[in-house]
Chains A and B, each alone.
Chain A
Amino acid sequence: MTPPTPMATEPLLQVRDLRVSFALDDGLVRAVDGTSFDVMPGQVLGVVGESGCGKSVTMRAILQLVDRPGRITSGEIRFRRDGEMVDIARLPPRGAVMRDIRGGEIALIPQEPMAAFSPVHTVGEQIVEAILLHSHRWGEKKLGRRDARDITVGLFRDVGISMPEQRVDAYSWQLSGGLRQRAMIAMALSCKPRLLIADEPTTAIDVTTQAQVLGLLRELQAKYDTAIIFITHDLGVIAQMASYVVVMYLGRVMEQGPVDDIFHAPKHPYTRALLRSIPGLSGQTRVALPVISGALPHPFNRPAGCPFHPRCPDAMERCAAAVPRLLPVTPNQLASCFLHHDEAELP
C-alpha cells in the first residue's frame, strides 16, 4: 500500500484559509469558508463531504475555474512550481502561467466524462491537442502530431483500453461509460501532471466498473507517483483509495488525518456520526441505523458558530457562538472542535 508520507518533505500544494463566495440575487453564499489543507508529493488525499460542503468549489478554486458570480474572496493556494511556491489565488485566471498549470501541472478528472469530451472530435484528437499544448512537459524535443498520437496510444494502453490504436479514433459517444472514464484518465495523464484532481470520478458508473477504475487509479499512482486529490461522498471509496483524509462540512474542514486514524479513531463528532450512519456489508440488518439528526441547512442560512453545531450530539453552548479553529489534536490529526481544544477562529 501507499507508504505513509514522511512529514519532512515539502508540500506540493498548500491551501490556507481559502474562502470562496457566490454573490447571488438572493444573498451571499459562502461556499468555501476558511479551508486549509496540504497535499504532499505522491500522496492520495481524499476529500470527503456531503453536497454543499464546498469540496468541488475548492477544487475549482485550485484550478482558477470558479465561475461568476463566484469569487475567491481570501486565502492562499500555494503550489510548488520549479522549486518555488506560487499563489494560484493571485494569478490571473486566463494568464499564461495559470493556463500552463491548469492541464499541465494540475489535471482534472471530472465526474461526467461524457460532458468533458467534445462530441465532434475523436477522443484521440482531443488528447493529441492537449499533449501539443503542453509539449514541453514531454522533454526538450519538439513534438509532432505523429509523436503525440504515439504517446496517446501508449496512454490508452496504460489505462487498460484494449485495441488502443483503433480506440483513439473513436468519438466519446461511441465508448461505454467505463471506457470513457479510462479515456478521461488518459487525457488527464497526457501532460504528466504532478497533481491530479479526481472529482467524484466513479459516481456516475456502476460498482463493478468503479472497482476497475479505482484499481487502475491506484496502479497509475504507484507507477507515475502523481499526487491525487480524490473527492467523493463515498466513505468506502475514500477508505480504499486515500492515504490522508480531509472531512469537509459546509465549506469548512472538520477534521483531517491519516486514513486509518480517520476511520478507526475519528475525533470530530461529524466524522464519527457519518461513519456510524452508513450501512455496510457486515453487521446487523433491518435495525435502525444511528443517524445525524436534522438536515443540511440551506446555503443562505448558515448557522453561526461551528457549522455542525445544530446537528451535533455533543454541542455545547460555546459552539453556537464561536467557530473552532482547525488545530492538531493528536500527533497526526487535526480537528476543528471545541471538544478537543479551546481556540476559536478570530471574528
Chain B
Amino acid sequence: MNEAAAQPLLEVRGLRKFFPISKGFLRRVVGHVRAVDGVDFTVKEGETLGLVGESGCGKTTASRCILRAIDPTDGEILYRTRDGRTVDLARLPPGELRPLRAEIQMIFQDPFGSLNPRMTLLDNVGEPLLVNGVTSRTERTERVAELLRLVGLRPEFMHRFPHAFSGGQRQRIGIARALATNPRLVVADEPVSALDVSVQAQVLNLLLELQARLKLTFLFVAHDLSVVRHISDRIAVMYVGQLVELAPTDALFGQPRHPYTAALMRAVPVADPRVRGQDGILGGEVPSPAAPPSGCYFHPRCRFAQDRCRAEAPALREVAPGHFSRCHFAGDLTL
C-alpha cells in the first residue's frame, strides 16, 4: 500500500520522553535521560512504517509511548479512531483510553515472556476478548479457534499451555492475541529478532499476509535493517532519541540522505562472501542520551562533520518529496 491518498491514522508530533536520573540518599534529580527527544512522524492507514535504530536510540520508548504503556513527557500522539474522531493519546485519561486499547495492539519481541505461562492458549488469546465484553465462553472459544487458524495454528491446540510450543509457534500465538480485538494499528516490537533464521521468514510472511487480509497498519520496530527493509513501506531511522531520516523504503535504500543511515547500511554484513568490504566502518560509539553532544548528535562520528554541525542542531526537513533528513548538508552529500 503506497497510495498517497491514504489518510494518516497516527500522527506523532514533538514526542518527548525523559527519564529522571536521581542520585544520593534523597533521590535528588540530577539530570534526564532524553530517551525520546522530539520525534515527528505520521503513519498512514494500511501502511507499514519501520522504525529502525541501534539499542538506546529510543525506538522502543517511542513505541511504548504510542501504546501508552508509559506516559510521554511532552508532545502529541494524534490517533484517528474507528468512528472518525481524532484523539490525543498522549493526554487521554485512563478511563477514555481503555476502550481505545482494543484498536491499538502490540506484538512482543520475546515469545517466551509475552504469554502468561499459567494460562492455556484459549485463556491467553481469549483474555482481550473477555475484558472487552465477550463474556460468553462458547463465543470466545469460536473466536479463538478462528484466530488460531488465521495465524496458522491448529485450533485443537487451544487447551494447551504455552510451554508446549516452540518460539515460532509462540510468536504466532502472540500475534493471534494481538489480533483478537480487531485492532487497526499494530505495534510490532522486534517481532522476529528472537527467532531462528528458518522461522523468521515464516513469521514475516504471516505478518505481510495478515496485513493484506485484515487491512492492518503496522508500526514495525526493529534493529535489523534487512528485516525492516523487507516489510516496510516507509522507514524512519532513529539516533539518540531523534529521527534522523524518514523516507519510502526504496528511496532510503536507493539514496540515503543522512550519513548515519548510510553508515548503518554499510555496517550490515552482506550474506555474500564475494561482497566483502570494510570501508566506511563507523568509528566511535553511540553517545549517551543523558549527555548528548552539542549541535548535530551525530557529528562526533560523522566523517563529513563541519563547524556548523558542532554548533547548530539541524532540523528534520524534507529534501525530496516524502524524504526527510536531519542533516545540514543532506542535499549536497553523496553517500
Tell me the A residues contacting B by CB distance below 8 Å.
1, 50-51, 176, 178-179, 206-212, 214-215, 218, 233-240, 242, 259-260, 263-264, 273-275, 277-281, 285-292, 295-296, 298, 311
Tell me the B residues contacting A by CB distance below 8 Å.
48, 54-55, 166-169, 196-202, 204-205, 208-209, 223-227, 229-233, 249-250, 253, 263-276, 278, 281-283, 285-286
Q: Are A50 and B196 in contact, CB atoms less than 8 angstroms apart?
A: yes
Asked if A208 meets B267 with Cβ closer than 8 Å, knowing A279-B227, A280-B226, A289-B204, the reply is: yes
Residue in B55, B168, B226, B276 whose CB lies within 8 Å of A240? B276
Q: Are B269 and A289 in contact, CB atoms less than 8 angstroms apart?
A: no
Q: List, in ascending order, chain A residues with CB within 8 A of B55's CB.
A: 206
Alpha-carbon distance A189/B291, docked complex (angstroms): 34
Q: Are A239 and B269 in contact, CB atoms less than 8 angstroms apart?
A: yes
Q: Are A288 and B205 in contact, CB atoms less than 8 angstroms apart?
A: yes
Alpha-carbon distance A205/B205, docked complex (angstroms): 27
Q: Are A295 and B249 in contact, CB atoms less than 8 angstroms apart?
A: no
Q: Are B201 and A296 in contact, CB atoms less than 8 angstroms apart?
A: no
Q: Are B267 and A285 in contact, CB atoms less than 8 angstroms apart?
A: no
Known contacts A239-B276, A281-B270, A289-B230; 7 additional CB pairs below 8 A are: A207-B225, A207-B267, A214-B269, A235-B197, A263-B274, A281-B229, A286-B230
Least distance between A127 CB and chain B CB atoms (Å): 21
Asked if A277 meets B266 with Cβ closer than 8 Å, knowing A206-B223, A288-B209, the reply is: no
Q: List, in ascending order, chain A residues with CB within 8 A of B201's CB.
A: 277-279, 289-292
Q: Are B270 and A280 in contact, CB atoms less than 8 angstroms apart?
A: yes
A-B contact pairs, 5 of them (CB 8 A): A239-B270, A259-B273, A277-B200, A278-B200, A281-B268
Asked if A207 meets B264 with Cβ closer than 8 Å, knowing A281-B226, A281-B270, the reply is: yes
Alpha-carbon distance A218/B281, docked complex (angstroms): 13
Q: Are B282 and A211 in contact, CB atoms less than 8 angstroms apart?
A: yes
* Those 4 A-B pairs whose CB atoms lie nearest each other, nearest first: A236-B269, A279-B230, A211-B267, A277-B201
Residue in A218, A281, A291, A295 whose CB lies within 8 Å of B225? A281
Asked if A218 meets B278 with Cβ closer than 8 Å, knowing A263-B273, A286-B208, A289-B201, the reply is: yes
Residue in B168, B169, B197, B263 whose CB lies within 8 Å of A278? B197
Q: List, in ascending order, chain A residues with CB within 8 A of B205's CB.
A: 288-289, 291
Tally of contacts, chain A with chain B, CB under 8 A: 143
Q: List, in ascending order, chain B residues with CB within 8 A of A279's CB.
A: 201, 204, 226-227, 229-230
Residue in A178, A211, A259, A291 whose CB lies within 8 Å of B202? A291
Q: Are B271 and A207 in contact, CB atoms less than 8 angstroms apart?
A: no
Asked if A208 meets B54 with Cβ closer than 8 Å, knowing A239-B273, A277-B198, A296-B196, the reply is: yes
Q: Are A206 and B273 in contact, CB atoms less than 8 angstroms apart?
A: no
Alpha-carbon distance A264/B270, docked complex (angstroms): 13
Residue in A179, A209, A236, A242 whose CB lies within 8 Å of B270? A236
Alpha-carbon distance A57/B146, docked complex (angstroms): 41
Asked if A208 meets B263 with Cβ closer than 8 Å, knowing A263-B272, A275-B271, A279-B229, the reply is: yes
CB-nearest residue of chain A relative to B275?
A239
Q: Are A1 and B226 in contact, CB atoms less than 8 angstroms apart?
A: no
Q: Are A278 and B269 in contact, CB atoms less than 8 angstroms apart?
A: no
Q: Are B285 and A176 in contact, CB atoms less than 8 angstroms apart?
A: yes
Q: List, in ascending order, chain B residues with CB within 8 A of A233's CB.
A: 196-197
Q: Are B272 and A208 in contact, CB atoms less than 8 angstroms apart?
A: no
Least distance between B163 CB and chain A CB atoms (Å): 11
Q: Are B276 and A1 in contact, CB atoms less than 8 angstroms apart?
A: yes
CB-nearest residue of chain B relative to A210?
B267
Alpha-carbon distance A169/B201, docked complex (angstroms): 45
Q: Are B270 and A51 in contact, CB atoms less than 8 angstroms apart?
A: no
Residue in B169, B197, B209 whose CB lies within 8 Å of A277? B197
Least distance between A234 CB and chain B CB atoms (Å): 7
Q: Are B223 and A207 in contact, CB atoms less than 8 angstroms apart?
A: yes
Q: Are B198 and A273 in contact, CB atoms less than 8 angstroms apart?
A: yes
Q: Are A285 and B197 in contact, CB atoms less than 8 angstroms apart?
A: no
Q: List, in ascending order, chain A residues with CB within 8 A of B270's CB.
A: 236, 239-240, 280-281
Q: List, in ascending order, chain B residues with CB within 8 A of A298's CB.
A: 166
Alpha-carbon distance A211/B281, docked complex (angstroms): 6
